[in-house]
Amino acid sequence: MTGERSNTLQPKVIFLDAVGTIFGVKGSVGEVYAQIAQQYGVNAPADSINRTFYQSFKTAPPPVFPGKQPEEILQYEFEWWEAIARNTFQQVGVIDQFTDFSAYFSQLYRHFATAEPWSIYPDVLQALQYWQQLDIELGVLSNFDSRLHSVLQALDLAQFFSSVTISTEVGAAKPDPQIFAVALNKHQCSAESAWHVGDSLQEDYHGAKASGLRAIWLRR
């Protein structure tokens, strides 16, 4: 990510993906899962958990729940992630070591709503401050879940963003044009006047480009 001026006209708004773009997991997802699992007497290699987690994550359906009421979304988010975690430990072969997997997952889920497992990438704050000085509006556009609000607050990043658009709340996930349209509408901005920065070639770059935004693929 860079704070350097572009030859392109300055955008009205810049949207950024969250995980993998603004911040990432300290160490690895597998390390976090394994560390908390040890508190429940379960020992498994962090690298195996990490590899299996990403396999489970990539094969899961998109985290969208169209037609659900806002008050129902939190539970659906929780169950979506619990299914991924449960499948991860089943594939690793240690699920039967848990005496109370629900208690384990509840702790794990709350942990990822805090600042503790996350690290802001070194280039982020400088870029956010630079864009803010140029009076460019900033928004987060993510396929994460409602915990993103508390994570941004905990990392002292919420102050930079005038909008946060999340797939579970919209009912559509990147690269679906609907989520980009919802985010643009929050800023009363045309696609041609907006940039989107993200680390996923398919979800961020191709999704934004297909929706008419200037797409910037960030390779971390």
The CATH number of the domain where 182 resides is what?
3.40.50.1000
Give Cβ neighbours of residue 208 (< 8 Å, ≥ 6 apart): 15, 174, 175, 180, 196, 198, 214, 215
In this prediction, what percent of the chain has a pLDDT beyond 90?
94
Full residue range of the structural domain in which residue 173 is found: 13-25+118-217
Confidence of residue 220 (pLDDT cuts 50, 70, 90): confident
Mean pLDDT of all residues in 68-81: 95
Per-residue model confidence (pLDDT) at position 81: 98
User: CA–CA separation, 90 vs 41, rounded Å?
Assistant: 16
DSSP string of 13-58, one letter each residue:
EEEE-SBTTTEEESS-HHHHHHHHHHTTT----HHHHHHHHHHHHH
DSSP state of 68: -
Asked if the model's pLDDT at residue 97 lies above 50, the reply is yes
Among 76, 111, 146, residue at a domain's last position: 111
Least confident of 21-25, 50-54, 69-73, 182-186: 69-73
Residues 107 and 162 in one domain: no
Inside any domain, residue 5:
no
Residues 104 and 126 in one domain: no
Residue with tokens 């930079």: 160
98-151: per-residue pLDDT in tens?
999 999 999 999 999 999 999 999 999 999 999 999 999 999 999 999 999 999
Residue 175, helix vs strand vs coil: coil
Residue with tokens 């709503």: 113
Asked if the model's pLDDT at residue 8 lies above 70, the reply is no
Asked if the model's pLDDT at residue 205 lies above 90, the reply is yes
Per-residue model confidence (pLDDT) at position 3: 45
Residues 35 and 57 in one domain: yes
In this prediction, what percent of the chain has a pLDDT beyond 70?
96
Inside any domain, residue 53:
yes
15-26: per-residue pLDDT in tens?
999 999 999 999
